[in-house]
Chains A and B, each alone.
Chain A
Amino acid sequence: MDMNEIKEIFFQECEEQLAELETGLMALDEGDDDSETVNAVFRAVHSIKGGAGAFALDDLVRFAHVFETTLDCVRSNQLEPTKDVIKVLLKSADVLADLTNAARDGGTVEESRCSALIVDLQALANGAAAPAQTAEVDDAAVIAAEPDIGFTPVQVQFDDLEPDTSFTPVPFSFDAFGDDVPCAAKFLITLTPKADLYLKGNETVLLLRELSQLGEIAVSCDTTQLPGIEQIDPEGAYLTWTITLTSSAGEDAIRAVFEFAEWDCELDIQSVDPAEAGPPDVSNEEMSDADDDVSPVNDGLKGDDIALAQPSAFVNSAVAEIAGNAEDAASTGPNVVNLPSAVSQKTQEAEPTALNTQATQSRPAKSAAASTIRVELERVDRLINLVGELVINQAMLAQSVTESASSGTSAVTMGLEDLQQLTREIQDSVMAIRAQPVKPIFQRMSRTVREIADMTGKNVRLVTEGENTEVDKTVIDKLAEPLTHMIRNAVDHGLETPEKRQAAGKPTEGVLRLSAKHRSGRIVLEIADDGAGIDRKRVRQKAIDNGLITAETVLADDEIDNLIFHAGFSTAETLSDISGRGVGMDVVKRSIQALGGRITIVSTPGKGSVFTMSLPLTLAVLDGMVVTVADQTLVVPLTSIIETLKPEADHIHGFGASGRLIAIRDSFKPMVDVGQILNFTHVPTDPLAGVALLVDSDDGGQSALLVDAIQGQRQVVIKSLEANYANVPGIAAATILGDGQVALIVDVEAVVSASRSGALKSEMSLAAVG
């Protein structure tokens, strides 16, 4: 595996982490205050930072670090995850995603966005740190104490403290403690690797070697867990290492050594020196002074009484508690390793909480990961193709057996039936491999909503439902664009400004509901807003201005609503850069139709609009009606057919030179002679001898496709014509029928449009309603 492959895996994992991050933040936003959620969020950013560090992606590391620091404050309850805080965090997640993409694709992210957020994040983190001194003294004391290692336990004269309880805390910087106070400290590290550690290519000796570079180390190995040679698992892990490290590097540096190992081993880092007995003071200069004072005492552990010159809030609460323990320790002599002081326990509890929980949480995550595998899409596609072949072959075999004389033997027939059953099951299972939940795309939408809400100054809450609904990957990939567009439209046009909403007596926060569900073999997506609904008067006026309809045209409400799907239709009064970029709902409709889907709108004035999209679950197979046109076998997608009928003589009316209309329940629909349009024949098809398929066309109108006969209805595997040939106007794709012959799938929209313009063009333009 070369570096690029590893990097590729890293970016794939980043994508997952980013999704996790967003899910977590959204959950927090909805009031989930589970510490698991916070930890998951933290872990996601931490993992990205770690990986980015390994690849020297400095921008990413820098941002992730600041992000992580702020999240750490949330995690340690120093920072309340209010709506505003989460807004910043969500934005940061967006930037982090952008940075990741930039790192992968070589783009850049706007420096200003990045730095502005860094400032915000730092402000949050600092804001959290300041109150922490008063409100969260215990935590603060622990954090402060940790790098402050040059101390012996002290006995505090409480008499001296009592009068000073009103003392105000002194602000200080945590960072300074960690980085700027170089004093050699002793750590006791217990390391019990698990088998996983070795499986992942880690090696204890390397960790030890790295530790030895931090300072002086003494290592001992506990081999008591080692079973006899007859029971030993050569890949097992049985050893426990005890390392005594004297180093001026802080605990962070030691943890860093175990960064990639800590989840696969039991790691316990204790600061041996009972320095935790409490900093006599918190300001930096005095800190070092204190160091000087106290360090000589180090060896003796005499427990000298030290009168604190300047007692602080720490001393008031934390130290008071500790002092008793320290006294114990002092009396039992210099055996500080097992010092049961409140502080040493807290050091483990508070600071490494994250690490411990990370360890416990990452384990189930890992076992879940073990049950899934990453497979290149290409391989799955190949399998799907082959299964498609199998289905066709099976059909061909069945057909030839039926035709041959051997069809009489029941064994063969039964065997064939079993085969058919099996192939169908295989096909379904293979299709299921490609099925993916729509969740990632929904998450992307939440970002879109945030961005547009920001740009338009609207308050929007996105509610998603059914995000685990599964659909073929190709559909998901092609769904992003139309969906983004519709979400943009819904926020920009659908929802009102907070002021307008207030005036209308609605809550200022608009709600956008995005839902997905399965319905009769299709996936149905709904985008519902609780905005003003479609302003039909304006839409109508606009349509008249654009020449789509005449002022006299009488249209039903839903017909007016459907006008927004026409080309060049934008009702926004000002062209914004959000939705006024020249593409409108017509583009959305076209891309949905290109996927074999339909889109409808239901709008209630004052209550909002609901866009409903219904899409096939896969683009690999399609339900089609197999028809005969001029001796050719064609497939018409079933989704576009409304009904089929046998034309009767008195329902056919000539129209102009060659046009024909058919009367269906008193409304006239143009007849489209498929054979002529596709140039299979020059002789007009006799409508009375053929069958008419009533289909929906672009503008919501209907046309009747005239074919010679209907052969049946069948599920067909879609084959590309472009792969080896080229796009054929009027033809959407090809398929292979049971007899092994290629049949063409009709592009209904193109054929209907061609019947109007008189010629097939490969790029059909939308015909306006007349």
Chain B
Amino acid sequence: MHQTSKNLADGARELIAFRIGEQEFCVDIMSVREIRGWTPATSLPHSPGYVLGVINLRGAVLPIVDLSSRLGMKESDPSARHVIIVAQVYSKVVGLLVDAVSDILTATDENIQPTPEVSSELDKSFAKGVLAIEGRMICLIELERLFPEVESEAA
């Protein structure tokens, strides 16, 4: 405990790691409100393909984004095994559909390497950097970049 707070004080932060297909990603834990199971969403007319629809989160209407599709990978087929990460992006709350949440990581800025130059399906602009932890490669995602429309509204 003491160790953790010392690390955090040194500019380290905690990240939530999750899996989409075979790849691992993470987001800053500070923007995550809760993690819940998948429930069928009500689809929205004229919405982008990656918006699966809206669900009822204790009375709030929560849009669900298929993160896999949003990141340019294949569209998910949501099932009860999927997980929704409820995250705050600017003033709005969105649900991110992922395959599974793996663990919580502590990382400092030094641990985060710049995103390598690769021609990837994954839009590089979403990635803030990559982490190498225990032989795994985890991509840190910047949520604010995922939802530019949210950003422009907040600005």
Contacts and interface: CB of A to CB of B under 8 A. Distances in A.
Interface of A: 385-386, 388-389, 392, 632-633, 678-680, 719-721, 723-726, 728-731, 734, 736, 740-744, 760
Contact of B44 (A720, A741, A744): A744
Interface of B: 39-47, 51, 53-56, 58-63, 92-94, 149, 153
Contact of B92 (A392, A724, A744): A724
A678 B46 CA distance: 7
Contacts of A632: 42-43
Contacts of B153: 726
Contacts of B92: 723-725
Contacts of A392: 56, 59
A721 B55 CA distance: 11
Contacts of A730: 45-46
B61 A726 contact: no
30 contacts: A385-B59, A386-B59, A388-B59, A389-B59, A392-B56, A632-B42, A678-B45, A679-B45, A680-B43, A680-B45, A719-B60, A721-B44, A725-B44, A725-B51, A725-B54, A725-B63, A726-B149, A726-B153, A728-B45, A728-B46, A729-B45, A736-B56, A736-B59, A740-B39, A740-B56, A742-B42, A742-B54, A742-B61, A744-B45, A760-B46
A730 B45 CA distance: 8
A721 B45 contact: no
A389 B58 contact: yes
Contacts of B44: 721, 725, 728, 731, 744
The 4 closest A-B pairs by CB, nearest first: A678-B45, A725-B63, A389-B59, A742-B42
A633 B58 CA distance: 19
Contacts of A678: 45-46
Contact of A742 (B45, B55, B58): B55
A629 B82 CA distance: 27
Given A736-B56, A741-B40, A742-B56, A725 B45 contact: no
B26 to A, nearest CB: 23
A760 B55 CA distance: 23
A623 to B, nearest CB: 20
Nearest to B62: A724
Given A679-B46, A734-B61, 19 more contacts: A389-B59, A632-B42, A719-B61, A721-B44, A721-B54, A723-B92, A724-B63, A724-B94, A725-B44, A725-B54, A725-B61, A725-B63, A725-B92, A726-B153, A728-B44, A728-B46, A730-B46, A731-B45, A736-B61
B117 to A, nearest CB: 34
Contacts of B53: 742
Nearest to A629: B45
A439 to B, nearest CB: 33
Nearest to B92: A724
Given A724-B94, A725-B54, A726-B153, A719 B42 contact: no
Contacts of A721: 44, 54, 61
A560 B42 CA distance: 43
Contacts of B93: 724
Contact of A744 (B39, B40, B42, B55): B42
